[in-house]
Each structure stands twice: as structure tokens, then as C-alpha cells.
Structure 1
Amino acid sequence: EFATAVLSHGKGVAFHIQPSTGTLKAFQQLIVEITAYNNMWGEYQDDLVCEVGDLQPKLIPMKVTVQGCPIFLQMTGPQTEQPIISKVLPLRFGTHASGGSPVFRRVQLNNPTPFDIRLDWEIYNQEQDDKKLVDLLMFFGDPFPLKDMGENKTASIGSNSELEIMLKSDQTANPCGSIYPALQTTDEKEIVTREPTIQKIVSVVIRPHEGVPADSPYSVTPRQIVVPGGGSISVCISFTPSVLPEASPGVQCEGFGLAFMNLDDKLAQTVPNKVHRRHGYEAPPLRVDFQAFVRHALLNIDMDHDRGMVFYSMASDLVPNCPPLGVLTDSVMTQSLKLINCTKVPLYFRLLLSTPFSLSSTDPKKSAKTSHSKKEEKEHQPQLVLYPQQNLLVKVSFHTTPELLTYQHLPDTQLLPGFQVLQFENGERKLQFDQNLVIEHSNRTTQV
């Protein structure tokens, strides 16, 4: 609370002097302790005025440089001992299926400073075996221009207009006589006129290489945002799982985002002979690391026989034991298999089969019925879900019907896929139906 009161003048730095007044006896030495409080980066300089009786005041120059990024994430809180680059714990997205839907995280950014800070985001991927050591960047004009150029027009190069800065002294009383806010002016208003500065046309930046610029799998929306002074705002960070090649069992996706700080207010950038604040690539950015894992959407299938499911049915199965009842309309044979999710991510899928096969699960909430066409399968087949380390017992049935027996007389153009008639030398005929149980995952990949 005391530091907040000291910095309430909105200068970014304030000095606390203890003791601020007193009597120095003959041949006495006194140590005066000066404490600097800050909530804004920059290079500050001011004079400590020492008045002794009616003598001419003695000016003692003071300089202080504040480094670091004041912006912090709500989930981590402010860092009391900030490094030059503000780095927080990795933002973890967990494990996801290859080619799955994007995952979103909303992050709140807090600005404890008295000035509005514009953040421009850049996303980088960290790649293995990256032997590059240094990045050489060259820019023409402002590296981080305002996106809305209609409302935020920059002055043209070589402008002859003079820069006038209005500095208003703070008329509020100090919390105590020993607090001296930095950059306080003596006059109520002071107009400082400077010669026009020459804007940079070409900028060259050399920095250590840490990652490769990329737009995927991570992205930040919006890429440019203003965090109000003393306020907060949220950004959306997304992760889109990539499609893995079949030979790759999985991949770890590591990346990071750098939010470069920019000051659009000229008074926040510099106060002549008092304050200078670097911004853009010259100021330490906010760094947020990202981490995620991508695995193939794959279910383990546990069956009683390695050769798969084989059904043996006879036409006589349609004839009941009691002849007066007539011919049955359907004779069903059923076998079971177990689907196991051994991955670390929930898997959403559909089971696809067509006539003369059908399937159902033992869980009534996950029941499934077989449709006769692919269009009907996609429209009516319910989506199932298996969470990590869970299993599902699925029953597969083969249906023998009178209609099925007529397939042996149909022309080849009307036969079902996988159907064939086996003719033996003794005149016996067998109908053979071959079909695969297709597992269609939510990322549109299939498993047979």
C-alpha cells in the first residue's frame, strides 16, 4: 500500500528519502537513505535538491534504470524478481489426437503501470536439431505499425513541425514530506520545444536465435492489443493439432509467444532531460511458452481369435423347429469384441458396418445401429467416446434373411461389396460376405 501511494503520481518512478529534514551538528556525518520505487521500465534521471539554511541549494544528480516487462498473466501474478525478459510457466494444452479440433485458452493480461501499453505478438516454434545461433532482422519503417492506419497516422519523415509537450505538475499533496515523485516540475505548465527528430528509415536487429516464426500450430488473437494503464484485457491462444504421418508415433509441440511492448503516447515514450523509454524490439518483451502433445487416434481391438470374426450360418436356420410357424424373417448370430483406449486423450469415433452385419454396444448410452448407406451412417450413426484407459464391449451380429438368399441370382452390377458366390464340384453353393468394421474418428481418419 505504501508503494502504491508513492507511485500514485503516475510518473513510473518515485523516490523516498529518509530522513528528509534535520539538523547536522558540527563535524557530524549523517547517512541519508534514498529508496526508488517503480512500476514502469525506462531510464530516469533527476536532481536531489539539498537546501542548507540560506545557502545556495546543492543539486545531486540521480539516475536509475528500470528493466523488465511489467505486464503479467492473471494466472501467475506479478513477479517480484523479474528477469530482463518476463517469462512465465508454460501454458500447457495437454495431449490431443492428430488432426483434431483446435483447443482454445483465454489468458488475462494485467498492466500495473499508469500508461497504456500496446502489445504486438509474434509466435515461434522450437524445432529439434536447429543449429542456427543468431537472427538478423531488417525493417523498413516502424517494425510494429498500428493496424488501424486510418485513425493512427504517423508523422511523415522529415516533418518540420515542432514537438510540444505539455507537462502538468501534480498539485496533490504528498503522503508525507519525505516522498519526492520523480520528474515533478516546478512550474504549473511548461512547454518544451525540441528540434524535429529524424525518424528511422531502416532498422537492423541482431538477437539470439530461439525459435522459428510460425502461424501454426499456435496462434494468438488478436495479434495487436492495447492493455490499458492500471487495467487488464484478455487474449485467446489456440492450438491446432497437426496431422501426423503414419510412421510417427507422436510429437511434442513446443513454442512460445513474444509480446513486444510499444508506447503510442509520446509523453510516455520520453520526457526531455528526465525520462527515456525504449519500446518495440529495444524493450524486453513478455514471453509465454506453449506445450502440447499430438498422438494418433488409435483404438486397440481385443478379439477372441486373431483371424477376426467369422460367422457360419445355414439357410436352414430360417426354418423353425415348429413347421406350422412358417419361415423366419431373420436369423441372428452374434460375437463380441472389446475396444480399448490406451492413449492419453479422449477419442470420439463412429463404428460403421453395412448389411448383412450390424453392431451394438453394451452401454445403453453408447448404443449404435447400422445404416444401409454411407450417407445414412454419417447422418444417423451416433458418435461414441472412450476416455483414456477405458474400454467398450461391442457386439457384432450377422443377419440371415430370405432376401439374402436371393443375392446369388442377382447380376454382378447389383451385388453388395464383398459378396461372392462359391461354387463347389458337388454342386453345393456358398455365399461369402467379407466386410471390415470401420472406426471413423472425429478427425476424419479411419481405422479398419
Structure 2
Amino acid sequence: EFAAALLSQGKGAAFYVQPCTGTLKAFQQLTIEIAAYNNMWGEYQDNLVCQVGDLQPKLIPMQMTVKGCPIFLQLLSPWPFTWTRRNAAPRFGTQVSGGSPVLRRVRLNNPTPFDIRVDWEIYNQEPDDEKLVDLLVLFGDPFPPMDTAGNKAASSGSTSKSEVVLKLDPAAIPQQDPTCTYFKEFRSNFRKASLSQESAREKNISVLIRPHEGVPADSPYSITPRQIVVPGGGSSDVYISFTPLVLPDTEAELSCDALVLGFMSLDDKLARTVPNKVHRTHGHEAPPLRVHVEAVLRHPLLEVETDHDRGMVFYSVASDLLPARPLHGVLTDSVITQSLKLTNCTKVPLYFRLFLSTPSTPFSLSSADPKTSTKTSHSKKEERGRQPQHVLYPQQNMLVKVSFHTTLEVLRYQHLPETQLLPGFQVLQLESGERKLKFDQNVVIEHSNSATQV
């Protein structure tokens, strides 16, 4: 509270002298402590005035340089949760290759008395990148103010000589001894300082050498809006999104690391320069706001377990259609069922659909939940559209029942010519004259990114 009270006049820095007045006895030495407080970067200079009686005042020059970025982050969790994490780096965790974009909401807090415009640039961190420095050749203003449509707007620099003052309780400002000459002089000098006319000539070309930050990119990370003004003493929100790339089949995992740089600019001329008192750099010359983001990509993969080590093999004979009491006629359907266990061993929820590779077969699927039962349909396209989407969260599993139906219609397949048989159907002729029907089918797992697992 004491520091906030000292900085309440909106200068970005304040000096506190203790003691500011007193009597120096003969041959006495007295130590004066000067404490500097700040909430804004810049180069500050002033004079400490030492007044002894009616003698000529002694001016002691003081200088202070403040570096760094005053804006701090606040990571907001999705609704309806309300917890926040201050200065937390946005992490996107493990995501599925080619999945849906993931969004993070980040709040930018500005504790300074001045509005700060932030322009964002994203740099991907590549493991084989061996560059050390970047040479930048800039034409004109690299970060001009933009309007809502993304077009260059007119400069909003203010030429007002008025002071920027935070709305704090005046009673909270520490009281100084009215005889303290330095306090009066310091405050008076700030009030009397006027803005000088800036040179009409602007820099057309700038050449900068800076450490290599990475490869400029707009994917897989993006930020909205790309330019934002964070009001002094207030906050603004930005959204960082991660769009998962499609991993090649040869790569099992990919780390996506990036650096988001926020370059700070001051549109108010009073915030940039107070003649002979304050000078602040901005744009590429000021330390940017650095935000590290990271994510990991993996292929969607479910672990499949069957009842038998040999897989799912069904054996059926035509006599299965004969009932225990022959007088009751022939059965229309005989069903053999086996179970299939699907387990999610990844760190992210997996969304998928189940269907058979060939429609109109004697096989059918049904999940453990009767509400999401799966049956064969007349076409693969219709089948995919009708199948419900399942979800398995990390370390969860589900049972899928696969059934083989022996029917009179299936028995008629042995008399069809090969040209009329569906893919995966075979009629085997044995030496004894008997015939066997062989059906080969695959249970297809279609993930949300359209990748399939058989």
C-alpha cells in the first residue's frame, strides 16, 4: 500500500528520501537513504536538491533504469470454474493427431498508469534449429496501430500536457514534511515538464540484430486478437488456440513448443518521453512479453483385447438351426457372441465410432450400453452416419459384443456364383464333397480425426 501510494501520481517511478530534513551538527556525518519505487519500465533522471539555509542549493544527479515487462498473465479456466493461475504458462497437454482446436483464455493485467498496446508474434521452437541471431530489416513502423478490420489506423498519440493520475485515496499518500525542499522540487519539476515536438522525420528503414527466438509461424498456435490495448490499471483478454497437426504414420509422438512474444508500444507521447526526466523505448527496443506454450501430439489408439489369443473366430454349422424339438420347425437365426474389450491407454479422451468393414454381413455389433447398440446396415455410408459416437476417457474401457448370425439366407450363399459374393465371402469345396462358407470381416474403429483402426 505504501508503494502504491507513492506511485499514485502516475509517473511510473517515485523516489522516497529519509530523512528529508534535519540539523547537521558540527563535524557530524549523516546518511540519507533514498528508496526508488517503480511500476513502469524506462530511464529516469532527476536531481536531489540539498538546501542548507540561505546558501546556493546543491544539486545531486540521480539516475535509474527500469527494465522488464510489467504486464503479467492470468490463466482463466473454462466456465463454470472460476479459479485462476497467475503467471502460468498456457499448456495444451496431450492432444490427438488431427483433432479439434483447443482454446485457452489468458488475461493480461497492466499495473502501470499508462495504456500499453501489445502486438503478438508466434515463433515455433524446432529441435534442429541452429541459428543464433536474426537480422531484421524493418520498413516504417513495424507495429502500427490497427483498427478492428486489421487496417492501419491513424496514430493516437496524445500531445496533452496533463498528468496521468491513478484514482487512489489521497489520504493514502504518505505525508511529507512541508519543509522538505526535495519533495517539492521533484513534484514541481514533473508538473512543469512539457512535451517537446517530435521530429517530423520518421525512420523509414531500421536494421536490428537480436537473438534467434524461433521460426515465425501461424500454425499450430494462433492468438486472437493479434493486437490489443491493455488499459492502464486494467486488464484485457486474449485467446490462444492450438490446432493439432496430422502426424505421419512413422512418428508416434510430436512435441509442439512455441514462444509467443508480445511487443509493447506506447501511443501516448507523455508515456514515451518527459523532456530531461523520462525516456521509454517501445516496440522492438523494449523487452517483449514472453509466453511459452507447449503441447504433445499422439495418434489415437485404443488397446483391443479379445476372449481368445487367436482373435475372434466363430465356428457354426447348419444343424444349429435345428431346434431341440424338430416338430416345431427350423429356426430362423442362431447367434454366437464373443466380447471385445477396448481400453483407452492415452492421456486424452478418445471419440470414435464402430462399424463393420463390409455391410450386409452375418455379423453385428453391440456395445455394453444398450442405448448405443450397433447393427449392420445396407451401406457403409449409412452405417457410419447411424452409428453413435462413443467416448472413452483415459484409463477407461468398454465391452463390445460381436455376434455371428447363422440364418437360412446365409446358407443360400453357397449356391451363388463367385461374381455375386460380397467381399470377404468364400465358398470352400472339400474333397468329401462338403462345402464350407468362410466369412472374413474387420471391426473398424473410426476416430474423431477420421483415422481408422482395424
Q: Structure 2 length normalisation: TM-score?
A: 0.87
Q: Distance in 1 between matches of 2:123 and 2:190?
A: 49
Contact residue 13 and residue 182 of structure 1 kept, 8 A:
no
Answering whether residue 404 of structure 2 is matched by residue 398 of structure 1, we say yes
* Equivalent residue runs for 1:108-257 within 5 Å: 108-148=107-147, 152-154=153-155, 166-168=161-163, 175-177=174-176, 180=183, 184-185=187-188, 192-194=195-197, 196-257=199-260
Q: Distance in 2 between matches of 1:191 and 1:428?
A: 107
Give the Å deviation of 1:165.
Answer: 5.0
Q: Distance in 1 between matches of 2:119 and 2:332?
A: 70
Q: Which residue of 2 aligns with 1:79?
A: none
What SS does the aligned partner of 1:199 have?
A: coil
Greater mean deviation of Cα atoms: 271-280 or 57-66: 57-66
What SS does the aligned partner of 1:324 have?
A: helix
Cα gap change, 1:181 to 1:199, in 2 (>3 Å): farther
Q: Distance in 1 between matches of 2:194 and 2:367?
A: 81
* Equivalent residue runs for 1:337-356 within 5 Å: 337-353=340-356, 354=359, 355-356=361-362
Contact residue 193 and residue 275 of structure 2 kept, 8 A:
no
Contact residue 167 and residue 190 of structure 1 kept, 8 A:
no
Q: Which residue of 1 aligns with 2:426?
A: 420
Contact residue 75 and residue 87 of structure 2 kept, 8 A:
no
AA aligned opposite 2:95:
H
1:192-224 deviations in Å (ceiling 9; x for gaps)? 543634211111111111321111222211111
Q: Which residue of 2 aligns with 1:442?
A: 448
AA aligned opposite 1:135:
D
1:293-317 deviations in Å (ceiling 9; x for gaps)? 1111111222244443222222332
Give the Å deviation of 1:261.
Answer: 0.7
Contact residue 321 and residue 330 of structure 2 kept, 8 A:
yes
Q: Distance in 2 between matches of 1:226 and 1:370?
A: 57
Q: Distance in 2 between matches of 1:187 and 1:140?
A: 35
Q: Distance in 2 between matches of 1:302 and 1:384?
A: 18
1:214-250 deviations in Å (ceiling 9; x for gaps)? 1122221111111110011111111222111111121
Q: Distance in 2 between matches of 1:416 and 1:49?
A: 100
Give the Å deviation of 1:398.
Answer: 0.6
Q: Distance in 2 between matches of 1:215 and 1:391?
A: 37
Q: Which runs of 5+ in 1 are unaligned?
A: 77-86, 156-162
Q: Which residue of 1 aligns with 2:73?
A: 73
Answering whether residue 291 of structure 2 is matched by residue 296 of structure 1, we say no
Give the Å deviation of 1:378.
Answer: 2.4
Contact residue 302 and residue 338 of structure 1 kept, 8 A:
yes
Q: Which residue of 2 aligns with 1:95?
A: 94
Within the candidate set 341, 361, 368, 1:362 is matched to 368
Q: Structure 1 length normalisation: TM-score?
A: 0.88
Give the Å deviation of 1:435.
Answer: 1.1
Q: Distance in 1 between matches of 2:399 and 2:184?
A: 73
Q: Distance in 2 between matches of 1:390 and 1:232?
A: 41
CA RMSD of aligned residues (A): 2.8
Q: Distance in 1 between matches of 2:117 and 2:255?
A: 32
What SS does the aligned partner of 1:166 have?
A: coil
Cα gap change, 1:168 to 1:388, in 2 (>3 Å): closer
Q: Which residue of 2 aligns with 1:81?
A: none
Q: Which residue of 2 aligns with 1:16?
A: 16
Contact residue 346 and residue 385 of structure 1 kept, 8 A:
yes
What SS does the aligned partner of 2:30 have?
A: coil
Give the Å deviation of 1:73.
Answer: 1.1
Q: Which residue of 1 aligns with 2:29?
A: 29
AA aligned opposite 1:110:
N
Within the candidate set 383, 387, 390, 2:393 is matched to 387
Answering whether residue 40 of structure 2 is matched by residue 48 of structure 1, we say no
Cα gap change, 1:15 to 1:336, in 2 (>3 Å): same
Cα gap change, 1:139 to 1:20, in 2 (>3 Å): same
Contact residue 159 and residue 270 of structure 2 kept, 8 A:
no
